[in-house]
Amino acid sequence: MSTLAPRRTRYDASRAEIGEILTDQPRFRVDQLWKGLYEQLAEPSDLTTLPKALRAKLDTDLPAALTTVVERVSDNGDTVKYLFELEGGSRIETVLMLYPDRVTVCVSSQAGCAMGCGFCATGQAGFTRQLTTGEIVEQVVRAGRKAREMDRRLANVVFMGMGEPLANEPAVWSAVERINNDIGLGARHLTVSTVGVVPGIKKLTEWPMQVNLAVSLHAANDDLRNEMVPINRRYPLAMLMDTCADYLLAKGRRLSFEWALIDGVNDRDSDARELAALCRNLPLAAHVNIIPLNPTPGYLTRGTTLARVHEFRDRLDALGVNATVRRNRGTDIDAACGQLAAGQPVIPITLGRRSGTSDSQP
């Protein structure tokens, strides 16, 4: 069972709740504090426009949700990984990535994940609990502050850390609203990645907010996808692709598919052909992000070699599918995709190599 999430941490409190804490203060203080927290990304103790006694009171009445356990920097300082502890002791990870042209933070939406994808370190560790809105928003604030210290401006948020965002919809949607309305990051700069939770994609389709959607596909036939991504048994490919088609028609926005390439499992010519066929059936072009599989302790199958990763990309290209290879960030600090398990123990799982119909596999 999940433990109860904390209430009214700094970024969980609504304006009304902050108003209650500030009842003995002039009205404008609520706005001052709100702007300080969200626009200036400030600690209450650093808001020198507030009276000193009030700052001290806020430290206890509006506590931070995240305690830093580790802050580790890699790739010449352009990747910063945080391990945060939450109330109750669960740990989550947040990764700040600084590129020449943009700064992106990858946030967690759950402590652990219940979806059980075998190749993913978070999936191997299992589910602990849902994150609250404030716990998600605070990850963005902490990353934004760090970026500012490095003379950069955080502009993008991807929900690609620990957890399945669409299995924690209420907290994720309200975090998206706060990140957009209060912190001021454009909805088009926010990306929710899902393993294919159909009801959540439908909700996003109906929602006026223009956030980006990434679907972690990894397999283009039900047999293989059932094995790699167990939730496929509940939301099989035909249903998922119909939902994606509706999303594309309603939003007119680009959809991306994530494809973690695993040696001999989903990197065959037949996989490229099946994926291309799925993409062709969509009303608008989808973009495929190929992610070379990152090693995780609990999964014995290897990632595809880099040469084959590029071959797979070229094969998709020849089949008319727009695909890019995503650079691994922070593999040396376990901060890359699917490695975010916060040091929890994992049980090895293996997925058999497949002979399939590939003409390049023995």
Residues 100-139 interacting with ligand SAH (rule: CB under 6 A)? 119-120
98 beta partners: 103
The bridge status of strand 286-292 relative to strand 255-261 is parallel
- DSSP category for residue 298: T
C-alpha dist (Å) from residue 331 to 72, 200, 282, 334, 338? 12, 30, 34, 5, 10
Pick the stretch among 32-40, 141-149, 292-300, 353-361 that binds ligand SAH (CB under 6 A): 292-300
Q: What are the strands, taking DSSP E only, across the chain?
A: 67-74, 79-85, 91-98, 103-106, 110-112, 127-130, 156-159, 190-194, 212-216, 255-261, 286-292, 322-325
From the list ligand SF4, ligand SAH, none, which binds 294 (C-beta under 5 to 8 Å, kind-based)? Answer: ligand SAH
Interaction between residue 128 and ligand SF4 (CB under 6 A)? no
Q: Name which of ligand SF4, ligand SAH, none residue 270 binds, using a CB cut-off of 5 to 8 Å depending on partner kind.
A: none
Least distance CB 314 / ligand SF4 (angstroms): 26
Phi-psi region of 221 (alpha: psi -120 to 50; beta: other; left: phi over 0): beta
> Applying CB under 6 A, does 195 fall inside the site for ligand SF4?
yes
Q: Which of 128, 180, 193, 243 binds ligand SAH (CB under 6 A)?
A: 193
Both tokens assigned to 201: 């994609």
Minimum CB distance to ligand SF4 smaller for 141 or for 337: 337
Sign of CA dihedral 126, 128, 130, 135: negative
Contact partner, 260, from ligand SF4, ligand SAH, none, Cβ < 5-8 Å per class: ligand SAH
Do residues 37 and 46 touch, judged by C-beta distance below 8 A?
no
Task: For residues 230 and 117, give the distance between their C-alpha atoms in angstroms, rounded to a whole number.
Answer: 6
Say which of 93, 135, 164, 258 is annotated catalytic: 93
296 binds, among ligand SAH, ligand SF4, none (CB under 5 to 8 A by kind): ligand SAH
Query: CB under 5 to 8 A by kind: which of ligand SF4, ligand SAH, none does 94 bind?
Result: none
113 is catalytic: no
Q: Which residue is nearest to ligand SF4 (CB)?
A: 123
Amino acid present at 239:
M
Convert residues 97-126 into a mask of x (bound to ligand SF4 by CB under 6 A) and - (unbound). Answer: ----------------x-x-x--x-xx---
Q: Where would I find the H helices in 150-267?
A: 169-177, 198-206, 222-228, 237-251
What is the per-residue burial (b if ≥16 Cβ within 10 Å, else e) of 255-279?
A: bbbbbbbbbbbbbbbbbbebbbebb
Site string for ligand SAH, 201-220 (x = CB under 6 A): ---------------x----
Q: How far is CA 360 from the centre of its chain?
A: 33
- Indicate the pairing of strand 255-261 with strand 212-216: parallel
Contact of 125 with 116, CB cutoff 8 Å: no
> Judged by CB under 6 A, does residue 93 bind ligand SAH?
no
Q: Does 160 bind ligand SAH (CB under 6 A)?
A: yes
Considering only residues 204, 293, 321, 335, which one is a binding residue for ligand SAH as defined by CB under 6 A?
Answer: 293
93 is catalytic: yes
Q: Cβ-closest residue to ligand SAH?
A: 338
**Contact between 296 and ligand SF4 (CB under 6 A)?**
no
d(CA 33, CA 55): 10
The nearer residue to ligand SAH, 50 or 262, going by C-beta atoms, is 262
- Would you name the residues annotated as active-site residues? 93, 337
List residues near ligand SF4 by CB under 6 A: 113, 115, 117, 120, 122-123, 163-164, 195, 216
List residues near ligand SAH by CB under 6 A: 119-120, 160, 164, 193-195, 216, 258, 260, 291, 293-294, 296, 337-338
